């Protein structure tokens, strides 16, 4: 139970922080706004907005452009634009078969981006951490000297504890209980915060802010790769769970006496909707990976009946598992992302048929299933968003930091 009181001694400071944060979030998530639009968006007075924007400008996080007469009534109002190089984060990703790094600035602007293959025989923690640090160093060269580097956001294809980046399970990497966060702290710029999170959770965050989820407060993203992960957003906030381990939808039992799962159980959702199941149904080797999945998809595009039937059966099981999630969570939107985005047209009809049969009647017509739109970089972009939140949730601390730096340089 949370106590909502604002303590007397901190009242003005905490309000100042909340107001600055509200302005930055509006600009970061919705783009440039005139001062008048910020008044409407935040409910703050015109003079408060003017002062707060001035702080952001002095801190290097925003600039103001002269008012233009755009034909709307009222006094022309200056346009407030975030400075994408004012603050940047370094986003990193450990995917099933690749590593990626990006520099992302305020407003979600991507300044540099590298992705390279991760050979399956080089996935020990040491090898991955070393390779990721090298990628980070390469993208870091793209950061302008005047940028404030906020920290690192890291997406990983595994079950991870947010508090310290401990990866308890990442079957695709052969990891169990690997201290990823701790090792990254040893090789990356040590004074910067490093936040590690699961790829599906981060893909959901990115789609919520910049993809197919914009405008929704309650959504589920299903992220398909070899396994299946989920990112859940409830009331506009990521559902994290008591220990940061929520959203492991791949291990919902949907066929309790079914095929063995990599987790040691039987009949988990990913045994029937993962890429292995698709390939098996299409008569392919279940472990033959992304190129084989692409081949099956191309066959389905040509109308090949075996490929189409394989996708239809995947769609049926997608619908069965999704029906349970929808009945429990009551979302308005379900996004299919990762490899599932490309499967969308071939799974949709059997998927929807299961939803028609299994979702509570009261909400069936309220929930929409569509493909995610950000593509394979969604987890990387979500990692950047999570890292940028460090700044946006508490801009005052960073303005102070900046002032201290300026003072130190001047001294």
* Subset of 41-80 contacting a second copy (CB under 8 A): 41-45, 48
From 83-91, 187-195, 196-204, 359-367, span contacting a second copy (CB under 8 A): 359-367
Which residues, numbered 156-185, are part of the site for a second copy (CB under 8 A)? 159, 161, 168-169
Contact residue for a second copy among 71, 190, 256, 303 (CB under 8 A): 256
Q: Give the residue, chosen from 93, 218, 377, 385, that forms a contact with a second copy under the rule CB under 8 A.
A: 218
- Chain-centre distance for alpha carbon 357: 31
Measured CA to CA, the distance from residue 170 to residue 179 in angstroms comes to 12
Which of 84, 113, 90 is closest to 100 using CA atoms?
113
By beta-carbon proximity to a second copy, the closer residue of 59 and 230 is 230
User: Taking the complex as a whole, how short is the minimal distance between the CB of residue 246 and a second copy, in angstroms?
Assistant: 4
**Candidate residues 57, 112, 134, 240; the one interacting with a second copy per rule CB under 8 A:** 240
Among 249, 300, 341, 384, binds a second copy (CB under 8 A): 249
Q: Considering only residues 31, 144, 174, 236, which one is a binding residue for a second copy as defined by CB under 8 A?
A: 236
Segment lying near a second copy (by CB under 8 A), choices 82-90, 108-116, 118-126, 246-254: 246-254
Q: Which is nearer to a second copy, 86 or 213 (CB)?
A: 213
* Size of interface with a second copy, in residues (CB under 8 A): 77
Our finding on whether 5 is near a second copy (CB under 8 A) is: yes
For the bound state, the minimum distance from the C-beta of residue 313 to a second copy, rounded and expressed in Å, comes to 12
Are 193 and 152 within 8 A, CB to CB?
Answer: yes
Question: Binding of a second copy at residue 365 (CB under 8 A)?
Answer: no
Q: Which of 199, 201, 207, 248 binds a second copy (CB under 8 A)?
A: 248
Distance CA 257, CA 270 (A): 14
- State how far the alpha carbon of 347 is from the alpha carbons of 43, 179, 234, 235, in Å: 45, 37, 26, 28
Among the listed residues 69, 145, 362, 411, the single contact to a second copy using CB under 8 A: 362
User: Among residues 74 and 235, whose Cβ is nearest to a second copy?
Assistant: 235
Among 6, 397, 403, 404, binds a second copy (CB under 8 A): 6
Q: Single out the residue of 97, 127, 189, 217 in contact with a second copy (rule: CB under 8 A).
A: 217
* Stretch 311-330 residues interacting with a second copy (CB under 8 A): 320-321, 323-325, 327-330
Contacts with a second copy in 103-142 (CB under 8 A)?
none
9 binds a second copy (CB under 8 A): yes
Binding to a second copy (CB under 8 A) within 266-295 occurs at 268
How far apart are alpha carbons 241 and 255 in whole angstroms?
25
From candidates 137, 254, 290, 353, binder to a second copy by CB under 8 A = 254
Which residue in the set 363, 397, 404, 406 belongs to the binding site for a second copy (CB under 8 A)?
363
Q: Which is nearer to a second copy, 299 or 398 (CB)?
A: 398
94 with 157: CB under 8 angstroms? yes
Minimum distance from CB of 374 to a second copy (Å)?
17
C-beta closer to a second copy: residue 99 or 196: 196
Place of tokens 């279940």: 286
- Which residues ranging from 180 to 209 are in contact with a second copy (CB under 8 A)? 209
Considering only 55, 192, 245, 309, the residue that binds a second copy (CB under 8 A) is 245
Task: In angstroms, give the least distance from the CB of 302 to a second copy.
Answer: 30
């Amino acid at each position: 139970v949370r106590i909502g009181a604002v303590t007397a001694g901190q009242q003005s400071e905490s309000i100042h922080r909340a107001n600055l944060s509200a302005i930055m979030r509006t600009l970061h998530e919705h783009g440039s706004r005139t001062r008048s639009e910020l008044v409407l968006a935040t409910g703050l007075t015109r003079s408060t907005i003017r002062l707060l924007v001035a702080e952001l400008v002095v801190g290097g996080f925003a600039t103001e452009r002269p008012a233009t007469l755009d034909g709307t009534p009222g006094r022309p109002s200056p346009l407030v634009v975030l400075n994408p190089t004012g603050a940047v984060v370094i986003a990193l990703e450990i995917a099933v078969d690749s590593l990626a790094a990006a520099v992302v600035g305020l407003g979600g602007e991507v300044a540099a981006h590298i992705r390279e293959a991760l050979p399956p025989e080089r996935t020990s923690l040491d090898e991955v951490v070393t390779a990721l640090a090298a990628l980070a160093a390469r993208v870091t060269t793209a950061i302008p000297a005047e940028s404030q580097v906020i920290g690192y956001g890291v997406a990983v294809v595994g079950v991870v504890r947010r508090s310290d980046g401990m990866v308890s399970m990442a079957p695709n990497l052969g990891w169990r209980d690997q201290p990823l966060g701790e090792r990254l702290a040893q090789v990356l710029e040590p004074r910067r915060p490093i936040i590690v999170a699961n790829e599906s959770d981060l893909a959901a965050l990115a789609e919520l802010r910049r993809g197919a989820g914009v405008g929704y407060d309650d959504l589920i993203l299903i992220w398909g790769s070899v396994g299946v992960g989920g990112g859940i957003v409830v009331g506009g906030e990521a559902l994290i769970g008591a220990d940061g381990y929520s959203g492991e939808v791949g291990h919902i039992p949907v066929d309790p006496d079914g095929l063995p799962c990599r987790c040691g159980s039987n009949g988990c959702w990913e045994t029937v909707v993962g890429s292995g199941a698709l390939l098996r149904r299409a008569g392919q080797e279940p472990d033959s990976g992304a190129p084989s999945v692409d081949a099956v998809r191309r066959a389905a595009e040509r109308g090949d009946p075996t490929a189409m039937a394989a996708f239809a059966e995947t769609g049926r099981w997608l619908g069965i598992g999704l029906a349970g999630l929808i009945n429990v969570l009551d979302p308005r939107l379900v996004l299919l992302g990762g490899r599932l985005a490309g499967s969308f047209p071939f799974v949709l009809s059997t998927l929807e048929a299961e939803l028609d049969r299994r979702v509570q009647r009261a909400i069936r017509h309220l929930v929409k299933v569509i493909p995610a739109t950000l593509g394979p970089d969604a987890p990387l972009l979500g990692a950047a968003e999570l890292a940028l939140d460090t700044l946006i949730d508490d801009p005052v601390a960073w303005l102070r930091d900046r002032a201290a730096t300026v003072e130190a340089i001047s001294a």
